[in-house]
A and B are shown apart, each in its own frame.
Chain A
Amino acid sequence: MSEQIADGAVIDGVHYHQFDIVIVGAGGGGMRAAIEAGPHAKTAVISKLYPTRSHTGAAQGGMAAALSNVEEDNWEWHTYDTVKGGDYLVDQDAAEILAKEAIDAVIDLENMGLPFNRTPEGKIDQRRFGGHTRDHGKAAVRRACYAADRTGHMILQTLFQNCVKLGINFFNEFYVLDLLIGEVDGPDGTTQKRPSGVVAYELATGELHVFQSKAVIFATGGFGKIFKTTSNAHTLTGDGVGIIWRKRLPLEDMEFFQFHPTGLYGLGILLTEGARGEGAILRNASGERFMERYAPTIKDLAPRDIVARSMVQEVLEGRGAGPNKDYVYLDCTHLGAEVLETKLPDITEFARTYLGVDPVVEPVPVMPTAHYAMGGIPTTNNAEVLSDNTTIVPGLYAAGECACVSVHGSNRLGTNSLLDINVFGKRSGRNAVEYVKTAEFVPLPDNPAAGVRDMLEGLRTSTGTERIAAIRKELQEQMDRNAQVFRTDDTLAAVTETIHGLRERYRNVQVQDKGKRFNTDLLEAVELGFLLDLAEVVVFSARNRKESRGGHMRDDYPKRDDENYMKHTMAYLTGDPHSSNPADHIKLDWKPVVITRYQPMERKY
């Protein structure tokens, strides 16, 4: 065992670093963790993007907290809404933490400098958002704290600014491609898995770096790029979730993916739900406000799963607009130029720039867009990663969209993710600091970078003929067609076949750029590997859940089935990952849902 390699050493072309805590990802989750960890432990943040390029910056509408700045509200109502919004698959103790700590999380950000919109009294202003209600569903409540329609941008900037202030150590444009895990002696003669560090690829030079650390925090964001129509960035390829999977640690609730109702037609670029929070209305071809039929009480502000399904239903029943009757309208015209320009300026511009439609005077064509992964790396409420239903991997943490606590259950409420990254980002950083105070470094394996080097050299020198883009395009199109808002066993079986074929083709993939420096071609090939792995888990888990709940709608099982499925899915990689039948390498198990105050009820809005 190469016990200790000095910080800064270069051996066989591999650079070695040593930190107490390594944070993978510099979005909102990663940087919030860094602000907790940086001042108390030797911390590195490794990110494949410059921090300010992270997709947290694309978030628009707001961050929920029951501040009661504009009307009566309290965190218990917020907890209830979160549980009900998630179709009761939410772990209720976690939702309670989320809602309670929301208040401090927003105040922390304001105190760090975030320029929230203000009320006439100078307090943080709040707006309505889908599924957030007063007193257990009586009416919509103003709970979302916001900065115009660039709340995520302001969160990302504020966190980055504070990281600059604290002198946080960033490794930008470094791609983490492997997690190193060692076995150490646990209590009573058992052995225990613990992280010993990560392996990263430096984009600028093509060189490999081993970061030895006592604690590792994953905050790598989502994987919307398994779909074609998505609000997610090109870089949201699920690397962190994929790495955990390949390490044979479980993934939770992967079948639950959120399709946001209002993506710009044909493009998937998001128009925030905040637009409907400000009063915008969804209409079908004949101008009817169809949500009145599906959710009579809160109408357009019903949770996203319900709105997205209603929209698709309208189109399927022939009431869609446009030459192909394949979209509906988001009507903002009655909001007036003033509200659009001051409270929703960015989305107004998106519609103008990308569709040539001016929301001030015409309704905007929209359809659901793949938006958010409810599932991911299972963690405790302290952001500790689980290796089964109850055992933690000491020193390993996950937070943000890559993690599954689970505060979102089967359907996340709008504004609860910016909240999640702040609450659980902070918790992960704090807990990692506590952990490293007493923990030792786990010895690195021999040749810690060998696995990554072999994978990269295999790709770079491959004589394959399959184009990366062709495989990815087919994956995304088939996922849209077969695993989107409505799913059946037939469609899922079809896309299972597709994925199997694509995984075969991937073995023969071609990387054209043979160079060392800034080889983004090579990294796209690596990212595609993660997409294929994750799509397979999503589809396999979805096939197994023969009910409809939240973001997972099975047309062949249209009802929620609490008797058989009121439980989380846990997926494990077993056996030969390349075996052709996913059933030969994915094992599914269940994990109970934590229920404290709210017994499952039928969801009506």
Chain B
Amino acid sequence: MSTAVADAPAEGQASDAPEAIKSFVVTLIIRRFDPDVDTEPHWQDFDVEVYPTDRVLDALHKIKWDQDGSLTFRRSCAHGVCGSDAMRINGRNRLACKTLIKDLDVQKPIYVEAIKGLPLEKDLVVDMEPFFASYREVQPFLQANSTPPEGKERIQSVAERARFDDTTKCILCAACTSSCPVFWTDGQYFGPAAIVNAHRFIFDSRDDASQVRLDILNDKEGVWRCRTTFNCTDACPRGIQVTQAIAEVKQAIMRGHA
């Protein structure tokens, strides 16, 4: 599968480059579903010429742009900051734009399918609405009782700010929630992403509604459903310590305050 076929096209590179980067062909096996015609999803193979430094997103684009325009997936930023393209790549949730071909085993085909646990719409696209509904339910916005001094910022120490730094990085990609076995079997479970976004406010010194959020997450579909399988932490493309954030919320509930 990884037969070298051509040199990198960069002009003039071949002659004086110390080692010209070789392209090769990989097979992507993609789980397709067209709601207009299919009753069931099916797998389809595509051979694509890629460079080791290409992203899986580049390979998907090559298929869409050169072979089959109907292949459907979401994407925007192409460098891991917008959260559009979480998908299951070789059985693991990742962002296609942050997964380089060279980091996969290219001797074997690359399997790509939509994330699990959310309704499949078409090919790699799922309905994100249930995911955002859980997010909205944890009241993911600052609620402060005090009014800040007119025309001034609220004061927050470096240490107070650091307490919730990790969870501010979330890009709402759903890689965590859709890798969670509890979520797969119980779609009512808030899921790790909603808890991460609650954490972001629960531990913000400027916020006064921690108690409300802790009560929400103490619900039967809340944090206690988490079985600490760490799938979410492994899946998070932003490197957020998701399981730890959930643990901190659990501890706060037991303590009775943030």
Identify the 4 closest CB pairs spanning chains A and B, nearest first.
A113-B142, A512-B69, A469-B65, A513-B70
The residues of B with any CB-CB pair to A shorter than 8 Å are: 10-13, 16-18, 34-37, 53, 61, 64-66, 68-70, 72-84, 98, 100, 121-123, 125, 128, 132, 136, 140-142, 148, 151-158, 160-161, 164-165, 168-172, 201, 204, 206-207
Taking A113-B141, A113-B142 as contacts, is the C-beta distance between A512 and B68 under 8 angstroms?
A: yes
Expressed in whole angstroms, the minimum distance between the Cβ of B33 and any Cβ of chain A is 10
Assess whether A234 is in contact with B78, with CB atoms less than 8 Å apart: yes
Are the C-beta atoms of B80 and A115 separated by less than 8 Å?
no
Whether B153 contacts A107 by the Cβ 8 Å rule is: yes
- A161, B142: Cβ atoms under 8 Å? yes
Contact of A52 among B17, B83, B169 (CB under 8 A): B83
In the assembled complex, which residues on chain B have CB atoms less than 8 Å from the CB atom of A571?
none
Cβ-defined contact, B81 with A57, below 8 A = yes
A118 B75 Cβ-Cβ under 8 A: no
Report the stretch among A4-12, A147-155, A252-260 that lies at the interface.
Answer: A147-155
A161 to B156, CA, bound (A): 20
Task: Choose one: A103, A111, A121, A157; the contact of B155 (CB below 8 Å).
Answer: A121
**A521 and B82: CB pair below 8 A?**
no
Q: Which residues of A contact B141 (CB under 8 A)?
A: 113, 161-162, 164-165
Give complex CA distance A543, B155 in Å. Answer: 52
A103 CA to B98 CA in the complex, in Å? 36
Are B53's CB and A58's CB within 8 A?
Answer: no
Complex CA gap A107/B73 in Å reads: 38
Known contacts A153-B81, A153-B171, A161-B141, A517 near B121 by CB under 8 Å? yes
Instruction: Check: A144 CB closer than 8 A to any chain B CB.
Output: no
Residue of B nearest to A356 (CB): B53
Tell me the smallest distance from the CB of A159 to a CB of chain B, in Å: 10
> From residue 150 to 187 of chain A, which have CB atoms closer than 8 A to chain B?
150, 153-154, 157, 161-162, 164-165
| Whole-angstrom CA separation of A324 from B20 in the bound complex | 12
CA distance A107 to B147 in the complex (A): 12
Chain A residues with CB below 8 A from B82, complex form: 49, 52-55, 57-58, 233
Report which residue of B17, B80, B206 has the largest number of chain A beta carbons within 10 angstroms of its beta carbon.
Answer: B80
New A-B pairs, 8, CB < 8 Å, besides A112-B142, A116-B153, A118-B161 = A49-B76, A52-B172, A57-B81, A111-B153, A157-B170, A164-B136, A354-B79, A514-B70
Known: A113-B141, A122-B158. A353 touches B72 (CB 8 A): no
Cβ of A235 within 8 Å of any chain B Cβ, yes or no, is yes
* Given known contacts A124-B153, A165-B141, A520 and B72 CB-to-CB distance under 8 angstroms: yes
Which one of A147, A148, A233, A323 lies within 8 Å of B76 (CB-CB)? A233
Does A110 lie within 8 Å of B36, measured CB to CB?
no
Q: CA separation between A154 and B204, bound complex, in Å?
A: 14
For B164, give its contact among A49, A115, A515, A516 (CB under 8 Å): A115
Q: Are A58 and B34 in contact (CB under 8 A)?
A: no
A268 to chain B, nearest CB (A): 9
Q: How far is the CA of A462 from the CA of B57 in the complex (A)?
A: 28
User: What bracket does the count of chain A residues touching chain B fall in?
Assistant: 35 or more
Q: Shortest distance in angstroms between A222's beta carbon and chain B's nearest beta carbon?
A: 13
Residues of A within 8 A of B154 (CB): 110-111
B158 touching A157, Cβ below 8 Å: no
Name the residue on A nearest B124 (C-beta): A518
**Could you say which of B151, B158, B170 contacts A120, with CB atoms under 8 Å apart?**
B158
Residue of B66, B72, B140 near A518 (CB, 8 A) is B72
From B69, B100, B148, give the contact of A513 (CB < 8 A): B69
> How distant is the Cα of A54 from the Cα of B160 in the complex, in angstroms?
29
- Are B10 and A324 closer than 8 Å at their CB atoms? yes
Interface: A344 (CB within 8 A): no
A204 within 8 Å of B (CB atoms): yes
Which of A118, A269, A510 makes the CB contact (< 8 A) with B79? A269
CB pair A115 B161 closer than 8 Å: yes
Chain A residues whose C-beta falls within 8 Å of the C-beta of B73 in the assembled complex: 520
Most chain A CB within a 10 A radius of its CB, from B37, B69, B171:
B69
The minimal Cβ–Cβ distance linking B55 to chain A, given in whole angstroms, is 8
Would you give the shortest CB distance from A524 to chain B, in whole angstroms?
Answer: 8
For B35, the chain A residues whose CB sits under 8 A away are 517
CB distance from B179 to the nearest CB of A (A): 19
Question: Are B152 and A107 in contact, with the CB atoms below 8 A?
Answer: yes
Is B168 a contact partner of A467 (Cβ separation < 8 A)? no
A565 on the B face (CB < 8 A): no
Please, what's the 1-or-0 string for A548-564, where 1 marks a CB less than 8 Å from any CB in chain B? 00000000000000000
B34 contacts which chain A residues (CB < 8 A)?
515
The interface residues of chain B lying within 8 Å CB-to-CB of A513 are 69-70, 72
Give Cα distance in the complex from A233 to B81, angstroms. Answer: 10
Q: Roughly how many angstroms separate A517 CA and B140 CA in the complex, as a whole number? A: 31
Residue of A at shortest CB range from B152? A107
- Please give, as numbers and ranges, the residues of chain B lying within 8 Å of A518 by CB-CB distance: 72, 121-123, 125
Decide if B80 touches A353 in the complex (CB within 8 Å): yes
Q: Which residues of A contact B140 (CB under 8 A)?
A: 161, 164
Which residues of the partner chain A approach B12 to less than 8 Å between Cβ atoms?
A: 324
The reply to whether the CB of A104 lies closer than 8 angstroms to some CB of chain B is yes
B66 contacts across to A, CB distance below 8 A: 467, 469
Q: How far is the CB of A324 from chain B (nearest CB, A)?
A: 6
Chain A residues contacting B153 (CB-CB under 8 Å) are 106-107, 110-111, 116, 123-124
B135 closest partner in A (C-beta) = A164
CB-CB nearest in chain B for A111 = B148
Give the interface centre of A53, A346, A467, A516 by most chain B CB atoms within 10 Å. A53
A113 to B153, CA, bound (A): 10
Docked Cα-Cα span, A482 to B169, in Å, equals: 38
B residues in contact with A233, CB < 8 Å: 76-78, 82
Contacts of A204 in B (CB 8 A): 121
Given contacts A112-B142, A323-B16, A518-B121, contact A512 B152 (CB under 8 A): no
**Whole-angstrom distance from the CB of A66 to the nearest CB of chain B?**
13
Whole-angstrom distance between the Cβ of A432 and the nearest chain B Cβ: 23
